[in-house]
Amino acid sequence: MRAFIAMELSPQVKESLRKLINDLKSRNIKGRWVPPENIHLTLRFLGNIEEDQVKAIEQLLEEVAEEADPFQISLEGLGAFPHPARPRVLWVGVKEGTTTLQRLYQIIEKGLVRLGFPPNDKSFKPHLTLARFKNPLERTRRLVHQTCKEFQEKEWDRMEATSVILFESILSPQGAQYRKVKEVYLGGGSQSGHHSQKDQA
């Protein structure tokens, strides 16, 4: 199955992102927008994993959950990879909570390498993806660059991070659906989930 490890956003944060996306769309920024209900704080994309790897990853997440209690995350700023003037991915950044997220990421990364996954060669920068651009026109590039400057230090919202989730991504012609395979609660405790989310992107 195609899988990734992520944190779910609170309904309030999703609503804040919905308003932000509507604002950005109204500025005529043309991109492939992620539906707000589908935005996650991704810790590690896994790609296709075998059924027999799932149990080992679930055990790894149990270990991760013991390494941190619930903590505050603040969402701040707007940026783009690889650069606001050459946008491929438009994102909202994370300010408060970054140190804890980095620590959880390192534990996940070490555990995955121990399980035989190739190391992730990209440095981890916590962010929420809002939109993707394939070949953005000059006008879109200029708008993204301007808007990122304008919102560089704006705080959008904050939330308490309480769990880490192994998601399955099910691709379909209507977009991707996300199913919770395993949710572990920070500070210990877990449950398996079968909750689906629909992606219209």
> 68: part of which helix (H) or strand (E)?
none
40, 83, 145, 194: the catalytic one is 40
- At residue 73, φ and ψ (nearest 5 deg) are -125, 130
Active site annotation includes 195: no
83, 127, 145, 195: the catalytic one is 127
**What tokens were used for 180?**
């919770």
Q: How far is CA 141 from CA 87, 88, 92, 112, in A?
A: 6, 9, 17, 36
3-state secondary structure of 92: strand
Distance CA 165, CA 104 (A): 12
Side chain identity at residue 114, one-letter code: R
Distance CA 34, CA 20 (A): 12
170: exposed, middle or buried (Cβ count in 10 Å: 0-12, 13-18, 19+): middle
Active site annotation includes 127: yes
Give the residue numbers marked as catalytic: 40, 127
